[in-house]
Structure formats: structure tokens, C-alpha cells
Amino acid sequence: MPDLLVERDGPVLVLTLNRPERLNAISFPMLEQLSEALLAADRDPEVRAIVVTGAGKGFCAGLDLKDVAAGTGVGAGNPGAGRFDLRNSPPLVLYQTDKPTLCALNGAAAGYGMDLALLCDIRVASENAKLAAVFTKRSVLPESGGTWLLPRLVGWEKACEIAFRGRVVPAQEALELGLVSRVVPAELCLKETLALAREIAENAPLAVQATKRMMRLGMDETFEANVHHVFLQLLPLMRSADFKEGVTAFLERREPKFQGR
């Protein structure tokens, strides 16, 4: 079986980490397949939203420490590590894609898995889910975006407490901290996430992607710069067929049918 399952649900691409016997611990093939799938989705105009989830009871247990201990895993001197280009690594690709990304957090997300979950735009958590920032308990650090993301999501002091202590944050506390957007019964986690993804996919895809791009850039630029960049994004959107369709649908009091053009 492949380490990553790639399935289409209409305009939604579902990526499932698929090593359930290892709680979907990260392997080299999984990293490579995830990057390839994300890059392909970013280029595919038919994909309007991406859902990332895990097979079985867990989302992702982080780096496969059994492989690392055996000298065959990530960061353990494997020859593949020299060939892996961080410019196309899953964290960077996931952060840079303009397609909206949702995480169906079906279980524990530890280490690298926690970073992957936080990199998604929206997280829907199973009531059994938890975010395990166990990096300092393994003598590593949040290497895949966590040091940048966590302070922005929960603030400096709370991020320090979680990261320095190597805390495990259960689903309900994650909701209270703003690390997930909702907590649902375990059996509804993927269903609820897909429903949310489909709702997003019904909107004008060019506008959704431009909104995400401007919000992402706005994290690191001044208000004035962002206002100017947003205006430059607005001009081509107002010349698009989808803008015309949106206005026409409003005047005709019907739901718009956007084509991504």
C-alpha cells in the first residue's frame, strides 16, 4: 500500500497519511508523495480545496523513531536525506499553496504531525484528537513550521509553555486555545471536514485563493503595503467571468456557478 492515499471528492482533494500500523509516522516515501500531491493540486484548476487526514486511529505520530533508530529514517544518515530538497518539502509547499487546506484531525498529531496539522488553514478535530508538542522530550525542536506558527496562533507566552514543557494538548483545550476551529464526534470528523471543504469550494476559487494569498502575505507586511497589494489583486478579479457570474446571480437571486475563470 502507498504511504499516501490520494482521492478526489468532486472539487476536493483528500490526502490520507497511510501507515496506520505506525500511527502514520513519517517516512521518506510519505514526504515525497505528499509534496508531489500538494504541488499537483496547486496546479490543477479543478481542485478547489485540500483535506489532509490520517488512516486509522491517529493523524500522524511524527517522525518514525523506529526507522530512525534502525538508521533508515529521516535525519538518521539515510542517503535519501541528501536528495530531499526543502524547497519542495511538505511544510513549505503546504504553507505556500493558495488552495485552502483543511485538516481532519482524526487522532493524535505529534511532533512533525502537529506541525502539519497547524500548517493547514482550518482544523476540525475529533473529540479523541490531541496535539502533542513532544519535541523537547526527544531532544529536537518543532522543525517543520511549529516555531513560527505556534506563537502566531496562541501568543508568545502560551506557545512557550506548550513547547518548552513538551505538552500534549487535548482536543477541547485546543479548541479553547484557537488551535482547532471545532471539535466533533470521532465518527464525524472526516465528514464534517469534507462538508466544510465543499462549502468553500462552492465559492469563486480565484477569489478564495487571492484572499488566502493576501492574508498570508499580510502576516509579514505593513497595513499600507497590504492594502496596495489587495487592490492589485482586486483588478483582475473584477475582470473575471466569475465576477460577472457573481453579480448576475445576485441580481437574479440564484446561487452562482463559478468556473474559476
Residue 51 falls in which region: left (phi positive, over 0), alpha (psi -120 to 50) or beta: beta
Question: Residue ranges per domain, the chain?
Answer: 4-201, 205-251
C-alpha cell at 210: 487571492
Rounded to whole angstroms, how far apart are CA atoms 40 and 34?
Answer: 10
Going by pLDDT thresholds of 50, 70 and 90, the confidence category of residue 69 is low
How far is Cα 261 from Cα 254, in angstroms, rounded to an integer?
Answer: 19
Q: How far apart are CA 169 and CA 70, in angstroms?
A: 29
Cβ-contact 123, 179 below 8 angstroms: yes
How does pLDDT run across 205-256, given as a tens digit for each residue?
999 999 999 999 999 999 999 999 999 999 999 999 999 999 999 999 999 9
Which of 32-41, 78-87, 91-100 has the lowest average pLDDT? 78-87
C-alpha to C-alpha distance for 133 and 164, rounded to whole angstroms: 9
Distances (CA, A) of 122 to 104, 145, 207: 9, 16, 18
4-201 to CATH, choices 3.40.50.150, 3.90.226.10, 3.40.30.10, 3.40.50.2000? 3.90.226.10
pLDDT at 72: 58
Residue 73 scores a pLDDT above 80: no
Q: What is the pLDDT of residue 86?
A: 73
pLDDT tens-digit series, residues 171-209? 999 999 999 999 999 999 999 999 999 999 999 999 999
